[in-house]
Copies of this chain bind each other. A is one copy, B any other.
Amino acid sequence: MATTTPRRRGPRATGDARSDILAAARSEFADKGYAAASVRGIARLAEVDPALVHHYFAGKSQLFAATMDLELDPHDIVRKILDGPRQDAGQRLVRTFLAIWDAPERRAQVAALVRSMFGGPPEKSPVREFVLPELIMRVCTELQVDDPARRAGLIASQMLGLIAGRYVLQLPPVVALGAEDMVRTYGETIRRYLFD
C-alpha cells in the first residue's frame, strides 16, 4: 500500500498542510478507531511526510484531541487534574472536564460528538479508545490507586451520564445544575470512585 501511494515532503501546494492532516486524521480515526489508527497512516492519507505531522502535533493523542476541536493537550488535562491536594482530585477532574465542555458555545459540539459515538460501533468510540485510557485511566494510575481499571470505569460512567443528561438529552434538572454544585457534588462522587 505505502509504495503505491504518493508521498510529499512538505505542505501541499493547494490548501494548508495542517488542515489536510486534520481532515485525514478525522477520516482515519472514524474508519479505524483511535487504537488502530497511526500517525504514519494519517500522513499517507494526507499525502505528507510523517515528520510534518509531528511538526504540527506532538503525537497521536494530541492529533486526536485536535480532531475533536479540543484545544487542550491531553497531557495538560491529566497534569491539571493531578496538580494539587490528592483528596481534591475528584473535584479537579470535574472542574477540568467542565472547563472543556461546558462553555455555552461548546455544548452543541459535545452533544454531536456523543451522539455520533452512540450511533457508531462501541469498539471505535472515542470514550472507549481515548478518554478512558488516555485521560481517566492515566489519572488513576498516576494517583497509584488499587484496581485502577475498575475505578476508571466508575468515573467514566458518571462523567458520561453527566454529558448525556446535560448536553444530549438536556434533562431540565441536569441542565439547571450550577458549575459549583457540579464540582462539589460530582467531585465527591469521583473522590469516592478514586479512593474509597
Contact = CB atoms under 8 A, between A and B. Distances in A.
A158 B156 contact: no
B150 A157 contact: no
A169 B122 contact: yes
Nearest to A125: B169
A34 to B, nearest CB: 13
A151 to B, nearest CB: 8
Nearest to A148: B173
Interface residues of A, number: 41
Most buried by B among A123, A173, A181, A192: A173
A189 interface: yes
A176 to B, nearest CB: 7
A188 interface: yes
A170 B166 CA distance: 21
Interface string A95-119: 0000000000000000000110111
A30 B120 CA distance: 22
A160 interface: yes
Contact of A153 (B123, B176, B193): B176
Contacts of A77: none
17 contacts: A119-B119, A122-B170, A125-B169, A127-B165, A128-B170, A149-B176, A150-B176, A152-B173, A153-B171, A154-B173, A154-B174, A154-B177, A157-B161, A157-B164, A157-B174, A160-B161, A160-B164
Given A156-B161, A157-B165, 10 more contacts: A114-B118, A118-B118, A122-B169, A127-B165, A128-B172, A132-B171, A149-B176, A157-B162, A160-B161, A161-B164
Interface of A: 114-115, 117-119, 122-123, 125, 127-128, 132, 149-150, 152-154, 156-162, 164-166, 168-174, 176-177, 181, 185, 188-189, 192-193
